[in-house]
Amino acid sequence: MRRNSIFSHERRASAWATSTLMAAFLCLSSPALAQQSGGFRTDPDKPIEVEADALEVENTKQSATFIGNVRVKQGEMRLKSDRLTIFYNEGRGAGSSRIDRIAASGNVVVSAPDAQTASGEWATYKVADRQIEMGNAVVLRQGDNVIRGSRLHVNLATGHARVSGAEGAGNGGNVRVRGLFQPDND
């Protein structure tokens, strides 16, 4: 009986954490892209559906990890990655926990209607600090408009977003931040 209650508790915590991650990613479109479409949009009242090849819960590490071909869907929002791990701390009440950090890794892609996507090799959301970082070949797209960089940092509390290039880019490297904005031909 204890095992089922732990799994049920972890599943609820994982669903809440995944929803939080998706909502956080909704805010990561660049200001230039957001001005055109209002940014990524979500419907928090929609159910969250998570699919993966496996789920591992490690109570000693206080983590739940979805592994292999991870697909998350809420309304029209989608998140794909190779792995999604939720790190939590046990709360004071029975069956309660607090999500500390959510980490997605391997081919992370967040997509929404209107051809909006954000992609990178990894992403981390620090819940208490309301900070998102996405890294390694970050690409933000809306239709034909594209911003590329090495790392994306978003402070959800202030709304400040920064895309940066890799260190050493000034030494002749080609990992500077790049943007391509197409004119509106309507």
Residue-wise pLDDT tens digits, 87-144: 888 766 555 567 788 899 999 998 877 788 889 999 988 888 888 899 998 998 888 8
Short-list 1, 4, 16, 8, CA closest to 88:
16
8 A C-beta contact, residue 56 and residue 65: yes
Confidence (pLDDT) at 117: 86
pLDDT grade for 169, boundaries at 50, 70 and 90: low
Question: What distance lies between CA 122 and its chain's CA centroid?
Answer: 9
* Multiple choice CATH, 2-180, 1.10.3720.10, 2.40.50.100, 2.60.450.10, 1.25.40.10: 2.60.450.10
pLDDT grade for 20, boundaries at 50, 70 and 90: very low
Confidence (pLDDT) at 107: 96
pTM for the whole structure: 0.71
d(CA 186, CA 183): 9
The yes-or-no verdict on residue 29 having pLDDT over 60 is no
AA letter at 57: V
Over residues 45-74, the mean pLDDT reads 89
pLDDT grade for 36, boundaries at 50, 70 and 90: very low
Question: What distance lies between CA 186 and its chain's CA centroid?
Answer: 32
The yes-or-no verdict on residue 81 having pLDDT over 90 is yes
Confidence (pLDDT) at 118: 87
8 A C-beta contact, residue 89 and residue 107: no
From start to end of 91-176, where are the E strands?
97-112, 116-126, 131-142, 145-155, 160-164
